[in-house]
Structure 1
Amino acid sequence: MNNFVVKTIANAAALAVAIWLLPDITLTGDNTGRKMLTLVLVALLFGLVNVVVKPVVKLLTVPLFILTLGLITLVVNALMLMLTSGLAGKLDLNFHVQGFGTAVLGGLIISIVSWAMNVVLPDDKD
């Protein structure tokens, strides 16, 4: 359970950094409390997409992973972010990623920040 909370906090922080740095990734809301709740819900949704969909996509892209020396991971991360944006829209969460290029940059930022947060935050293995 602790690991789930750590991953959600890391995802929320990573998403917040991407939203802050990239004007085409937006999170809107009436007030700060509502925005924070939406950010946590989007982080949970993003985590769910990464747990359920990403392994299947990675398995299907193994040949491309080898061929591109791992650069296809940027495309996979971008697709996961765009899927999260689409699902957020369906769930009435005010989170939107505009364009594939923005999704690639956002995925890169989220990967770096999430990795750093997971290094800093404790987990069940400690």
Structure 2
Amino acid sequence: MKTFLKILLTALAVIILANILPGVAVTGYLSAIIVAVVIAILNMIVRPLLIFFTLPATIVTFGLFIFVINACIILLADSLIDGFKVSGFWAALFFSILLSIFRSFLFSLLKEEKHK
């Protein structure tokens, strides 16, 4: 249930960012949900492989190359989904950074309080 809620929150973040950012467009709510699912799948499968193969660049840049990997994931999602368009690398980079911030904020609302 929590995974489904996280996907819906990510879709909400995608819709909000597509309305705010120039260069990013999503055609509807269903497309935003599909974008959230595809990004989750790409983050599970492709992102660890990209991080592994670009580990020297990531180490040299003190981890900043991860932002480039995130932008590549967004561009890959753009090529896989018809209802989601990103105009270029810089739009994808900015979108991925803001999406990470939005997701962190929204997911923090889901945290359950632990009682001692």
> What TM-score does the superposition give when structure 2 sets the normalisation length?
0.88
Alignment RMSD (CA, Å): 1.8
Distance 1:14 1:120 in 2: 14
Q: Which residue of 1 aligns with 2:47?
A: 54
Q: Give the deviation of 1:115 after TM superposition.
A: 1.2
> What TM-score does the superposition give when structure 1 sets the normalisation length?
0.81
Deviations 1:39-68 (A, max 9, x none): 111111111111111111111122111111
Give the paired residue count.
114
Unaligned runs of at least 5 residues, structure 1: 29-34
Q: Is the 8 A contact 1:11 1:46 kept in 2?
A: no
Q: Which residue of 1 aligns with 2:107?
A: 118
Q: Which residue of 2 aligns with 1:26?
A: 25
Instruction: Confirm whether residue 37 of structure 1 aligns to residue 26 of structure 2.
Output: no
Unaligned runs of at least 5 residues, structure 2: none
Q: Give the deviation of 1:81 after TM superposition.
A: 0.3
Q: Percent identity?
A: 27
Distance 1:10 1:56 in 2: 26
Q: Which residue of 2 aligns with 1:99?
A: 88
Please list every run of at least 4 consecutive aligned residues from structure 1 whose deviation after the TM superposition is greater than 3 angstroms.
Answer: none
Q: Give the deviation of 1:99 after TM superposition.
A: 0.5
